[in-house]
Amino acid sequence: MTSKKKNKSKHKKKKGNLDNADDSLRILLQDEALVYCKMENYEKAIHQYTAALELSPNDKTALVSRSKCYLLLGQPRLALKDAEVALNEDSTYLKAIYQKAEALYHLGDFEHSLVFYHRGLHVRPELEQFRLGVQKAREAIENAIGKMKDTAILIQQIGWGDKRQATVARTVNGGDVGVGGSRGSTPAVTGSTTRRKEATASAATTKSQSKMLLRELCVDKEYLEHLTIDPNIVSAIQENDNYILSEAKDGISFLNGREEFWKQQKLIN
């Protein structure tokens, strides 16, 4: 055997020994992390999983395990990131699918968490964790809708209900109420007639799409949108005023999220 071949053989053997050492260390680190998890010391567990992932960045088992620790520490965004990296390695990995669903749920993205719970349930219908996930995501969505309706009731109790409905009716029917405007005033004309017609047609299309997606909730969305821009809102107690506007914006944000979700679902189907 020549000197060159001997050196090459030694190099391969040395590399093999290093790989084996790394594997052994990675397994040891994950075992230590698991012990810390059982002790509910999740910070140290994360430290050990991170060290293991430095040796093998795409280890889906370590990624999902660290994701669980992040979730238990109230850090769902980091939990979601690890779950997504694991799914990039293996899109069928059920533990990563479940972990992503859990992270989305704790982030308040109930619709998308429901999608991933359903995905896991479709593959393994016998697993209770996915069935319970579907159930709690549905309940969270229903509770969020209920909260929005409670806000509308609160608005009426404060005494703004009839006034807001009249505002919405006038605006929707092409009336004369606008920001800073008053009854009988003439709106300022900006842009050409053609651009105004195009903008009106575009708005009508968007409104039509919203009605198709949100159905009966479309009226609630219009109501809340006009509530946030109505200059006539004057509350006897400023705290109530701020609270109502904040709740209205939250309601709009929630409905926009549902609208986008249902739009994507229609495209998928």
DSSP string, 150-178: HHHHHHHHHT-HHHHHHHHHHHHTT-S--
Question: What confidence score (pLDDT) does residue 255 get?
Answer: 79
Question: What confidence score (pLDDT) does residue 232 get?
Answer: 57
14-142 CATH: 1.25.40.10
Question: What confidence score (pLDDT) does residue 60 get?
Answer: 95
Question: What confidence score (pLDDT) does residue 169 get?
Answer: 45
Asked if 98 and 131 touch (Cβ cutoff 8 Å), the reply is no
C-beta pairs of 229-238 under 8 Å, 24+ apart in sequence:
229/179, 230/164, 230/167, 230/177, 231/179, 231/180, 232/163, 232/167, 233/160, 235/158
Where in the chain does DSSP place strands (E)?
Answer: none
Question: What confidence score (pLDDT) does residue 173 get?
Answer: 46
Question: What confidence score (pLDDT) does residue 53 get?
Answer: 94
Residue 59 DSSP label:
-
Cα distance between residue 248 and residue 228, in whole Å = 7
pLDDT tens, per residue, the chain with 269 residues: 565 555 555 555 555 554 577 788 889 999 999 999 999 999 999 999 999 999 999 999 999 999 999 999 999 999 999 999 999 999 999 999 999 999 999 998 888 899 999 999 999 999 999 999 999 988 888 887 776 665 555 555 554 444 444 444 444 444 443 333 444 444 444 444 544 444 444 444 466 777 777 776 777 777 777 777 765 554 444 445 566 677 777 778 877 877 776 766 555 44
For the whole model, what pTM was predicted?
0.54
